[in-house]
Amino acid sequence: MRSLILPAGAFRALAHHISDFTADYLEKLPNLPSYPPGVSGQQTQALFTGDLPLEGIGAAAFADLERVFNYARPSSPRFFGYVFGSGEPISALGDFAAGVLNQNATAWRSAPAGVTIERTVVRWLAEAIGCAGFSGSLTLGGSSANLMALCMAREAKAPANQSGVRGGVIYCSAEAHMSIAKAAALLGLGHDSVRKIAVDEAFRMRTKDLRAAIERDLREGKQPIAIVGSAGTTATGSIDPLDEVADLCAEFGLWMHVDGAYGALAALAIPDAFRGMNRADSLSLDPHKWLYQPAGVGCLLYRNPADAQRAFSHTGDYARSLTNDPIEGFAIFEESMELSRPFRALKLWMSLRYFGLRAFQHSIAEDLELAQVLARAIDAEPHLERLAPVALSAVCFRFKDSNGDLDVLNQAILQRVTQRGRVYLSNAVIHSQFVLRACIVNHRTTEDDVREIVAEVLAAAGEVQA
């Protein structure tokens, strides 16, 4: 027998073990700390940096999972850091099945069901957020979707695939996600090609300033390529005036990309907040954020597949399709920067069909409402102040009751909150001030969990100041 063959019975036993083990974990989850208590870098180094195993240890490798889970940050209902989805478990089962099936979801011929399901799921997502008719593909996440979108924009407005990069300017707000600057760097345009337009009091791009910046660049002989509107900025969840962005794109012949990695899926619950989004040429959204999927699934939508093909079709002879059938000849790799691709769609397909879109709509609406509950609780607490309106589900605030340096104090409070392990917050900078930030994109979170944030920050502040 070959060395890596696993008998079916052994697989069955191990799979049962994993299903029992993970089901136990899910049962315990609501009561687990929001961060593993007392975990240190030295501990994880000591536990997980052993020598390369030349001989296998068999099923004992599974016993080590206990330690992995113990030193992981649990998917707790009281995790409010960053913008990170809460890992809905039907989806995790879909991931498991997809791994066993091991499809190369890159072309119909390599994954007939997989590619068809991916195209279906992408169509569903587009429909669900009011962008019916868009096509696209699933990506590793929002950063890769933004990179692909800006590559398409560059190729549409200042083609460079053949002759190399000649320049081009991208506009976004000062609050846009770092993946926009990263994409500009990766595309060879450089950070200097990104104009970060000032925002208004609600952290939305000022379109007057945007127009002025475009006109200035044109006067100076530069080549504007694209405007990136944010549909949910990372720090505050603000939504740029997308209709006005679309008008400017039409007027100046620019590509309109919407970075909806955080917020676009909230259009399921509050579509009016996203007016103009469906005028985009391309749009990123992240099921692994606000569709609660386990990490590793973003999505890029675009209006015209020919734009994606212009950017990404570099077919080699070894990959040429031998059929003219539009379904059987379809290849995602002609519209994506990826070639070998996992069957990401299976988890989404199972999760959406198991629960139905309405359940996701309700859950997102609940997250939005919980953010308002938190905002009201902060506003009612004299020791705290909120530093931004709550457009979606990110709430930025700080402890304000001290004559000392509030940035230093709030950093210490954040560290203490994490050590206390009851809620997990992250941070942001608002008006050059360090703030605590809670973001609710978690299908497990309840009102009690959210109320705990205020209590925990006050308790941590008491300990820090004692």
Footprint on this chain of ligand PLP (rule: CB under 6 A): 83, 141-143, 146, 177, 179, 230, 232, 234, 259, 261-262, 286, 298
Q: Which is nearer to ligand PLP, 141 or 224 (CB)?
A: 141
For 139-261, where are the alpha helices, taking DSSP H only?
A: 142-157, 178-186, 207-219, 242-252
Query: Dihedral of CA 289/293/294/297: which sign?
Result: negative
Q: Is 322 exposed, middle or buried (0-12, 13-18, 19+ CB in 10 A)?
A: exposed
Residue 181 or 214: the one with the smaller Cβ distance to ligand PLP is 181
Nearest to ligand PLP of 143, 399 (CB atom): 143
Site of tokens 């309405």: 358
Least distance in angstroms from the C-beta of 394 to ligand PLP: 9
We find the least distance from the C-beta atom of residue 388 to ligand PLP, in angstroms, to be 15
Q: Which amino acid type is present at position 246? A: A
Provide the CB-side half-sphere exposure for 305 (13 A, CA): 13
Q: How far is the CB of 177 from ligand PLP (least distance, A)?
A: 3
3-state DSSP call for residue 144? helix
CB of 315 to ligand PLP, least distance (A): 27
CB of 271 vs ligand PLP, minimal distance in Å? 19
d(CA 66, CA 22): 10
Closer of 106 and 143 to ligand PLP (Cβ): 143
Q: Which is closer to ligand PLP, CB of 248 or CB of 261?
A: 261
Spatial separation of the C-alpha atoms in residues 365 and 265, rounded to whole Å = 11
Q: Output the CA–CA distances (angstroms, integers) from residue 387 to 400, 405, 457, in the order listed.
A: 11, 17, 16
List the alpha helices (DSSP H) in 269-334.
287-290, 305-312
Can you say whether the dihedral through the CA atoms of 259, 181, 334, 328 is positive or negative?
A: negative
Measured from the CB atom, is 138 or 158 closer to ligand PLP?
138
Between 126 and 147, name the residue whose CB sits nearer to ligand PLP.
147
Complex with ligand PLP: residue 136 or 141, whichever CB lies closer: 141
Q: Which residues contact 197 (CB under 8 A, 6 or more apart)?
A: 171, 172, 173, 174, 205, 206, 209, 210, 213
Are the beta carbons of 177 and 234 closer than 8 angstroms? yes
Closest distance of CB 259 from ligand PLP, Å: 5
DSSP state of 188: T
CB of 449 to ligand PLP, least distance (A): 21
Question: Sign of the CA dihedral 321, 116, 128, 184?
Answer: negative
CB 26 within 8 A of CB 88: no
Q: Of 307, 316, 322, 323, whose CA–CA distance to 339 is shortest? A: 316
75/381 with CB nearer ligand PLP: 75
Nearer to ligand PLP, 300 or 332 (CB): 300
Tokens read off for 245: 């962005």
CB of 60 to ligand PLP, least distance (A): 34
Tell me whether residue 327 is exposed, middle or buried, using C-beta atoms within 10 angstroms of its C-beta: 0 to 12, 13 to 18, 19 or more.
exposed
The CB-of-234 to ligand PLP minimum distance in angstroms stands at 4
Least gap, CB of 297 to ligand PLP (angstroms): 9
286 or 456: CB nearest ligand PLP: 286
Sign of CA dihedral 128, 251, 179, 366: negative
Shortest reach from residue 361's CB to ligand PLP, in Å: 21
